[in-house]
Amino acid sequence: MGFVEKKTLMNQIEKTYSRLWTIASGKIMVVADIHGDWEVYARCRDIFLTRRALGEADILLFLGDLIHGEGMPYEDRSLEIVRDIMRLQSELGSAVLCLCGNHELPHMYGFGLSKGRRDYTPKFEARLTAEGDRAAVLDFFYSLPLFIRTPSGVSLTHAGAAKEIEDLEIAKIVFNWDHQQRLDKANQALAQENVANVRRSYAHLSGGDSYDSLARHYMGVTGPDDPRYDVLLQGMFAMLDPQFDYLYTTLFTKCEKHYGLLTYSHVLRRLLDYLSYDYINQHILVAGHINVDAGHEIVAGQHLRLTSNYHQKRENGVYLLFNTAKPVLQASNLQENIYPIWS
């Protein structure tokens, strides 16, 4: 790659706010939740590299939730996927981007995440401890944006619009979210406490296992001498900050499935307004997070939901490829830009 070409590529990304980035030009290939499935990941990566060589795609963008296997039939290779994306970023710079998903979040703050009887964090944390690349992986997670907007009027995020983002001031708090500042504040609050008592309360609230066993199991800590020993308490204090809800619901929102379609359509339009602040009007929100059997669906006319890896219907996985120079007014206009991953 020539110097001039690389420089142009770097200039496509503007970090307007720390967590709301603008992709100013180029063709973006969008891949939704991978959840540790190496075959889906490698297939999408290779499709991108082929299309890039042909001049058909400039940027590969993952919508978050790279990690945490969803069980059979595939092996969970979350850490290999994260490492490979970090390698690609060091080689190709901002041609490879990723949004933050709700499954990355527990590792960044220190809390367990489970669905039914499945605990998501233990395996990934155990590997970070055993293989020694926690700092690099967490730095990568902390670097991820929450929203991306484009001159076509298409914005992208992990989950969708959240009702708790009630006005532009709250939206700006999320657009400027500073993980380090929140973690420092949580650790300062924890330092004011009798930590042994807080550990006991934490264990009690968690149902009776000792703090020691919880920290080892969920967060891969090695024992009381581990400098990360109180990471679960850090996570608890971070979540006690009322503003943490803004981040949490941004990444966990169940959209119309939680609010109902009428309310969601209002919440969605409001978020698109905030994303348009000081910029070209944003008309469409593209997100993953909720699995769709058919690979994609349109919600409230302006939300395009994509599924790239849904293990029950893996063959239906799709990606989106669109040109940021072409204005889009309705989500249905993007349907011609959706491609099967397996064909």
Q: Is the CB of 58 or the CB of 65 nearer to Mn ion? A: 65
CB of residue 33 to Mn ion, shortest distance in Å: 6
Check residue 333 for interaction with Mn ion (CB under 5 A). Answer: no
313, 183 Cβ separation under 8 angstroms: no
Residue 158 CB, shortest distance to Mn ion, in Å, is: 6
Comparison of 115 and 117: residue with beta carbon closer to Mn ion = 115
* CA nearest to 256, candidates 335, 174, 320, 163: 163
Position 316 contacts Mn ion (CB under 5 A): no
Separation CA 68–CA 121 (nearest Å): 7
Site string for Mn ion, 255-284 (x = CB under 5 A): ------------------------------
Q: Which is nearer to Mn ion, 202 or 252 (CB)?
A: 252
Report in angstroms how near the CB of residue 285 gets to Mn ion at its nearest.
15
CB closer to Mn ion out of 62 and 229: 62
Q: In the complex, what is the shortest distance from the CB of residue 245 to Mn ion, in angstroms, rounded to a whole number?
A: 17
| Cβ-based nearer residue to Mn ion, 32 or 215 | 32
Applying CB under 5 A, which part among 121-129, 172-180, 206-214, 285-293 lies near Mn ion?
285-293
The yes or no reply on residue 249 touching Mn ion (CB under 5 A) is no
- For residues 19, 25, 29, 33, the Cα torsion angle rounded to the nearest 10 degrees is 10
Match 């690979």 to its residue by tokens: 295
Tokens, residue 3: 């110097």
Residue nearest to Mn ion according to CB distances in the complex: 289
Residue 342 CB, nearest approach to Mn ion (Å) = 22
Q: Cβ 68 to Mn ion, closest distance in Å?
A: 9
CA atoms of 112 and 214, how far apart (whole Å): 9
**Taking the complex as a whole, how short is the minimal distance between the CB of residue 304 and Mn ion, in angstroms?**
16
> Of the two residues 172 and 311, which places its CB atom closer to Mn ion in the complex?
311
**Cα–Cα distance between 243 and 255 in angstroms, integer?**
20
**Which residues in the 146-165 window bind Mn ion by CB under 5 A?**
none
- Of 307 and 337, the one with the shorter C-beta distance to Mn ion is 307
Contact 282, 153 (CB under 8 A): yes
* 9 vs 251, beta carbon nearer Mn ion: 251
SS3 content of the chain, % helix, strand, coil (to 5): 45, 15, 40
- The encoded tokens of residue 124 equal 């990934």
* Rounded CA separation 21/36 (Å): 25
CB within 8 Å of 112: residues ≥ 6 apart: 106, 119, 120, 121, 214, 218, 232
Question: Contacts with Mn ion: how many residues (CB under 5 A)?
Answer: 4
Interaction of residue 289 with Mn ion, rule CB under 5 A: yes
CA atoms within 13 A on the CB side of 77: 14
Do the beta carbons of residue 6 and residue 93 sit within 8 Å?
yes
Binding pattern to Mn ion, positions 51-80, x when CB under 5 A? --------------x---------------
> Contact, 157 vs 147, CB < 8 A?
yes
**Which value, to the nearest 10 degrees, does the dihedral of the CA atoms of residues 266, 158, 175, 274 take?**
-20
User: In this complex, which beta carbon is closest to Mn ion, that of residue 37 or of residue 65?
Assistant: 65
Show the site string, 78-117: x = touches Mn ion by CB under 5 A, - = not. -----------------------xx---------------
Binding site for Mn ion (CB under 5 A): 65, 101-102, 289
